[in-house]
Amino acid sequence: MMRIMKEIPVLLYQNVGHYPTDAMEDGVLPETFREQMRFFSENGYNIVTLDQALDHLAGHDNLPPKSLALTIDGGYRDAYTDVFPVLKSHNFHATFFIIPEYIGGERKIKGELIKCLTWGEVNKIIESGMNVGLLAYNGRSIKRKYDESAVMESIVSAMKILKGKIDLEIQYCAFKEGVPEKPLWDFLQEQELQAVFTQCPTNRRPSLAGIGRIQIDDDDHNIFLTKISNVYLFFKDKRSWKYLRKYKIDRVAHRISETLNRIKRNK
């Protein structure tokens, strides 16, 4: 009998919009996002909350096959204009990780100024029943050596802003990349943050101190199907992942998909 995997895919979306080409490295087009959500709806996927995903990971719950969770990072205004309405139309839940310092203003992506959510929009997202978390350290990575005191100071400041602007207990934080070492994880728990989400690969087993999310950053439907598969889920945080990147096996997958798409178009 096949062992049930206790981790489910937690997908990471960042930019969903029509941005300049240089700013779209981590994003998808709005029509791609709509197509992907429609795919979930029409193919029996079970979209769950992060609470449910963590209960499943801890063994307190047993989610059905084809369960996954959605997270939206950055706090860009497209989260309200191009993501939020689509989620509501399918009755899907998501957690929006925001940088409090940028709400109501703009943030640079590859030199381009991109509008961010307003606090009114953040509160409307919360009122709809969706969740909001902290995208920590101003959206920067802690993948390599990081200034622990600077990260802690940034989190204290951000949590103070959040508590003053929204009526919601912030349970989760996210980092662009990297997993906190024990002193930082202990500090995050002191701030009443219950789990950390980051981008895979984490090179370690999933735990509350670091859950690797699968970034959806390609408009190619075949690549999307690969990323939500159990095979990808199994390998996403393995140390062997670096060899897949080193030998550009991921690029081979893209080339194969492009070839399949051309064949399909020419039929």
pLDDT higher than threshold 50 for residue 248 = no
CA 118 – CA 100 distance, rounded (Å): 10
Name the strand (E) or helix (H) holding 215.
strand 211-215
Of the given ranges (16-25, 38-47, 50-59, 71-80), which has the lowest mean pLDDT?
Answer: 16-25
pLDDT at site 18:
86
pLDDT higher than threshold 70 for residue 59 = yes
pLDDT higher than threshold 70 for residue 68 = yes
| DSSP H stretches of helix in 112-199 | 119-127, 148-165, 182-190
For 202-212, the pLDDT digits (tens) are 999 999 999 99
CA 263 – CA 83 distance, rounded (Å): 31
Choice between 15 and 212, residue whose per-residue pLDDT is larger: 212
Under the banding of pLDDT at 50, 70 and 90, the label for residue 247 is very low
pLDDT at site 200:
93
pLDDT at site 246:
47
Question: Residues near 250 by Cβ (< 8 Å), separated by ≥ 6?
Answer: 244
Question: Residues near 162 by Cβ (< 8 Å), separated by ≥ 6?
Answer: 100, 134, 170
> Chain-wide mean pLDDT for the chain?
88
Class of domain 10-239: alpha beta
Asked whether the whole model's pTM tops 0.85, one would answer: yes
For 94-104, the pLDDT digits (tens) are 999 999 999 99
Q: Which two tokens stand for residue 182?
A: 């024990």
Taking residue 125's Cβ as centre, other Cβ atoms within 10 Å add up to: 26
3-state secondary structure of 145: coil
Pairing mode, if any, of strands 211-215 and 195-199?
parallel
Under the banding of pLDDT at 50, 70 and 90, the label for residue 238 is confident
pLDDT higher than threshold 70 for residue 199 = yes
pLDDT at site 261:
46
For 165-181, the pLDDT digits (tens) are 999 999 999 999 999 99
Q: Where are the domains of the chain?
A: 10-239
CA angle 62, 68, 73 (to 5 degrees): 135
pLDDT higher than threshold 60 for residue 249 = no
